[in-house]
């Protein structure tokens, strides 16, 4: 059923209204609305946002089902307030052909809780040597709109140049994991005082900054859209600001963990804190927050990276990088951006829904809350507090860096085209 009466909801935290949804579309907004024979959702005066859109998740299917599946990842997404996610191609097999991206898309549709958009690989096998068949993936039933070798950087400038040229012609975006692998060989942590003290090989911030600088030049020349994944270093901000000022088609994301966590957490050598790019310094997290508020960084993307315990409960050097993000993202954004007054609810809608939908080229996501628009929402109780427990999260893996932390803000309901997908912490089957 996609007819729904939502009562007492505050769009963007403003005046409380009722919304009547017919056939998945907002038919009426007013006060004292009634309707016969429709499902109702008492919004309890909570904040109504457009459904959240995540440009960067790892759902691990096919091939990594011990860590996550499209089904368990969709549960986590719906519970986190997300209505669309982009699934990265570093699966096994790699999503570098129409067959694999179509499988991911179809599996997402079967689960039906969140729109799952497969990201295609830029290069065959993520090896960085030969362009994948981008045009075939664009034309496939998966309708791929974003390409990335995430987990790896497209390091070869000639390959990156060609990828951007194709992307411009196909009107798709190249999402770059900006890491010059020649500078990060063996790296285990942010290069700085803490890594030195702990005896961990350093990942210099320049490995990110130099790739971004190169790529914006290539994107400018190709006239193509470049998206920079998980910006982590304050030095990258100046490069992005200058590129945007010149009119280069570049967008950028920051993860919740790079807004909140620093390399100060590494002293216990707990691999739950190992992530790529690495947690950096307090000055970096502060710069990320300011750049997000200013719009130099466009969006928050989770880089949700589930890893089964055999990949994480091991010594630091052997552990895989990555951390869960889907069910904690909004709370971390409230804590780091809303509570200090850096973003209001319109701002949250901008960085977690509207801009991601624009960058990902999704015409029916990130839409205004208005009559005639899709009824695709996240309903948020901003006053709720909850304690994060990895074992209680919907992901198959439990590698949350927020274990035991008390975070503000709870997703009360998620609605996708008029259908409730989550309600009071439970998935609506």
> Which residues are catalytically annotated?
303
298: which residues sit within 8 A by CB, 6+ positions away? 251, 252, 253, 351, 355, 356, 359
Q: Give me the least distance between CB of 368 and ligand DOR, in Å please.
A: 33
Are 279 and 190 in contact by the 8 Å Cβ rule? The answer is: yes
Q: Which of 72, 74, 83, 90 binds ligand DOR (CB under 6 A)?
A: 90
> What token pair was written down for 378?
């996240």
Residue nearest to ligand DOR (CB): 322
Q: Give the residue with the Cβ less far from ligand DOR, 65 or 364.
A: 65
Binding of Zn ion by 274 (CB under 5 A): no
Tell me how far apart the alpha carbons of residues 99 and 110 are, in angstroms, rounded to a whole number.
16
Q: What residues between 222 and 251 interact with Zn ion by CB under 5 A?
A: 229
Which 8-state DSSP code applies to residue 268?
G
Buried b (16+ CB within 10 A) or exposed e, 101-111: bbbbbebbeeb
What's the angle, vertex CA 151, arms to CA 147 and CA 155, rounded to 5?
A: 75
Near ligand DOR by CB under 6 A, which window of 30-38, 291-299, 317-325, 358-366? 317-325
Binding of ligand DOR by 126 (CB under 6 A): no
Closest C-alpha among 316, 384, 357, 415 to residue 53: 357
Q: Give me the least distance between CB of 390 and Zn ion, in Å please.
A: 21
Are 211 and 178 in contact by the 8 Å Cβ rule? The answer is: yes
Q: Which does 80 bind (CB under 5 to 8 A by kind): ligand DOR, Zn ion, none?
A: none
Binding of Zn ion by 150 (CB under 5 A): yes
What's the angle, vertex CA 292, arms to CA 287 and CA 295, rounded to 5?
A: 120
Binding of ligand DOR by 214 (CB under 6 A): no
Q: Which of 11, 204, 322, 401 binds ligand DOR (CB under 6 A)?
A: 322
Q: Give the residue with the Cβ less far from ligand DOR, 4 or 76.
A: 76
Q: Give me the least distance between CB of 33 and Zn ion, in Å please.
A: 45
Binding of ligand DOR by 399 (CB under 6 A): no
Q: Give the residue with the Cβ less far from ligand DOR, 123 or 276.
A: 276
Q: Which of 58, 107, 152, 177 binds Zn ion (CB under 5 A)?
A: 177
Are 47 and 380 in contact by the 8 Å Cβ rule? The answer is: yes
Q: Give the residue with the Cβ less far from ligand DOR, 376 or 399.
A: 399
Binding of ligand DOR by 321 (CB under 6 A): yes
Are 12 and 49 in contact by the 8 Å Cβ rule? The answer is: yes
Closest C-alpha among 249, 251, 340, 331 to residue 290: 340
Residues β-bridged to residue 7: 42
224 Ramachandran zone, left/alpha/beta (phi>0; psi -120 to 50): beta
Q: Which of 150, 208, 263, 354 binds ligand DOR (CB under 6 A)?
A: 150
Tell me how far apart the alpha carbons of residues 327 and 378 are, in angstroms, rounded to a whole number.
12
Binding of ligand DOR by 58 (CB under 6 A): yes
Cis peptide preceding 115, ω within 30 of 0: no
Q: Give me the least distance between CB of 354 and ligand DOR, in Å please.
A: 25
Binding of ligand DOR by 305 (CB under 6 A): yes
Q: Which does 215 bind (CB under 5 to 8 A by kind): ligand DOR, Zn ion, none?
A: none
Binding of ligand DOR by 138 (CB under 6 A): no
Q: List residues binding Zn ion (CB under 5 A).
A: 150, 177, 229
Q: List residues binding ligand DOR (CB under 6 A).
A: 58, 90, 150-151, 177, 275-276, 303, 305, 320-322
């Amino acid at each position: 059923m996609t007819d729904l009466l939502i009562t007492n909801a505050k769009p963007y935290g403003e005046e409380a209204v009722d919304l009547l949804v017919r056939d998945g579309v907002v038919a009426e907004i007013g006060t004292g609305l009634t309707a016969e024979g429709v499902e109702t959702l008492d919004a309890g005066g909570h904040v109504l946002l457009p459904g959240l859109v995540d440009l960067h998740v790892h759902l691990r299917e096919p091939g990594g089902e011990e860590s996550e599946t499209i089904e368990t990842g969709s549960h986590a997404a719906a519970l986190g307030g997300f209505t669309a996610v982009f699934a990265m191609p570093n699966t096994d097999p790699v999503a570098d052909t129409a067959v694999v991206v179509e499988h991911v898309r179809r599996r997402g549709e079967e689960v039906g809780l969140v729109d799952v958009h497969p990201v295609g690989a830029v290069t065959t096998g993520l090896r960085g040597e030969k362009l994948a068949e981008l045009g075939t993936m664009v034309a496939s039933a998966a309708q791929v709109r974003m390409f990335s070798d995430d987990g790896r950087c497209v390091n070869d400038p000639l390959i990156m140049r060609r990828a951007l040229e194709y992307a411009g012609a196909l009107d798709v975006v190249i999402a770059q994991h900006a890491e010059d692998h020649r500078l990060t060989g063996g790296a285990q942590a942010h290069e700085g005082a803490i890594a030195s003290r702990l005896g961990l090989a350093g990942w210099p911030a320049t490995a990110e900054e130099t790739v971004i600088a190169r790529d914006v030049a290539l994107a400018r020349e190709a006239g193509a859209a470049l998206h920079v994944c998980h910006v982590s270093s304050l030095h990258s901000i100046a490069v992005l600001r200058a590129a945007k000022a010149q009119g280069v088609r570049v967008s950028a994301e920051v993860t919740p963990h790079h807004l909140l966590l620093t390399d100060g957490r590494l002293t216990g050598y707990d691999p739950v804190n190992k992530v790529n790019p690495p947690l950096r310094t307090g000055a970096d997290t502060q710069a990320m927050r300011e750049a997000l508020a200013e719009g130099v960084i466009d969006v928050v993307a989770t880089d949700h990276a589930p890893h089964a315990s055999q990949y994480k409960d091991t010594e630091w050097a052997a552990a895989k990088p990555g951390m869960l993000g889907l069910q904690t993202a909004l709370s971390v954004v409230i804590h780091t951006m809303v509570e200090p007054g850096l973003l209001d609810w319109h701002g949250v809608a901008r960085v977690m829904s509207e801009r991601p939908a624009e960058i990902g080229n999704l015409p029916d996501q990130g839409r205004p809350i208005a009559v005639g628009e899709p009824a695709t929402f996240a309903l948020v109780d901003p006053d709720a507090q909850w304690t994060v427990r990895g074992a209680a999260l919907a992901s198959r893996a439990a590698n949350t860096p927020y274990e035991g932390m008390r975070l503000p803000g709870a997703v009360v309901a998620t609605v996708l085209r008029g259908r409730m997908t989550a309600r009071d912490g439970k998935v609506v089957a």
